């Protein structure tokens, strides 16, 4: 059955691009994950603060390597993307990514986490700002959404600093290890005026 409208972005729009390395600032870069990052990935998934907002755990280096290798496949399938946030020594200190990419609608969800040692310095905000610029600019996405548990005020602060307006609250929509969570819904359109951030 044919569509009444054309896709906002044609199939292959992401796949034709090599996943880029994105400069965040003079201290931080976004780059694709590597097998050598497996130990850091395991440490992240073992962090109680990160586990609280995820529904999966990681039990072995093999699982960490499988998690890493899956991102290349997801990039080729144009469904999701993930970057390691790395410091000046190319060591991962966090993750920023696009989830549930829809080329037909030119939309995606934004995700991020930062390891404990790198928190409190605005890493999440600066990294996701760089990813947002790339997603709206080079990738040509129309809308980015960001949702987080209402019990996670740190993510709410990140979304606000990014200029992602609150669109509402979805009640009981996400289940974590401690039960059902209401989720704040934030979003930004490419046409929205970018807000400067204090990091």
The structural architecture, per CATH, of the domain 22-189 is 3-Layer(aba) Sandwich (3.40)
Residue 199 pLDDT greater than 80, yes or no: no
Q: Which residues of 185-197 are buried (b: 16+ CB within 10 A; e: fewer)?
A: bbbbebeeeeeee
pLDDT for residue 194 is more than 70: no
pLDDT the model gives residue 44: 93
| CA angle 99–32–58, rounded 5-degree value | 65
**Sign of the CA dihedral with 132 first, then 184, 165, and 7 last:** positive
Q: Which pLDDT tens digit goes with each residue over 165-175?
A: 999 999 999 99
Q: pLDDT tens, 49-59?
A: 888 888 888 88
Q: Phi and psi of 174, rounded to 5°?
A: -125, 140
What does pTM read for this prediction? 0.93
73 band by pLDDT with thresholds 50, 70 and 90: very high
Phi and psi torsions of 181, nearest 5°:
-125, 140
Domain ranges of the chain: 22-189
């Amino acid at each position: 059955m044919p569509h009444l409208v054309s896709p906002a972005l044609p199939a292959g729009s992401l796949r034709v691009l090599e996943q880029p390395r994105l400069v965040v600032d003079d201290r931080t870069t976004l780059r694709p994950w590597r097998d050598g990052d497996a130990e850091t990935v395991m440490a992240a998934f073992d962090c109680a603060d990160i586990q609280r907002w995820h529904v999966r755990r990681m039990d072995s280096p093999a699982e960490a390597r499988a998690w890493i290798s899956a991102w290349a496949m997801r990039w080729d399938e144009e469904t999701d993307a993930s970057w390691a946030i790395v410091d000046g020594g190319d060591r991962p200190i966090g993750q920023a990514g696009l989830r549930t990419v829809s080329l037909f609608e030119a939309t995606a969800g934004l995700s991020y986490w930062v390891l404990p040692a790198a928190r409190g310095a605005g890493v999440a905000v600066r990294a996701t700002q760089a990813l947002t610029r790339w997603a709206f600019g080079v990738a040509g996405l129309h809308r980015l959404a960001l949702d987080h548990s209402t019990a996670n005020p740190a993510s709410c602060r990140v979304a606000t600093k990014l200029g992602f307006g609150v669109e509402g609250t979805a009640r009981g929509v996400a289940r974590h290890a401690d039960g059902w969570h209401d989720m704040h819904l934030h979003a930004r359109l490419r046409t929205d005026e970018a807000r400067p951030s204090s990091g």
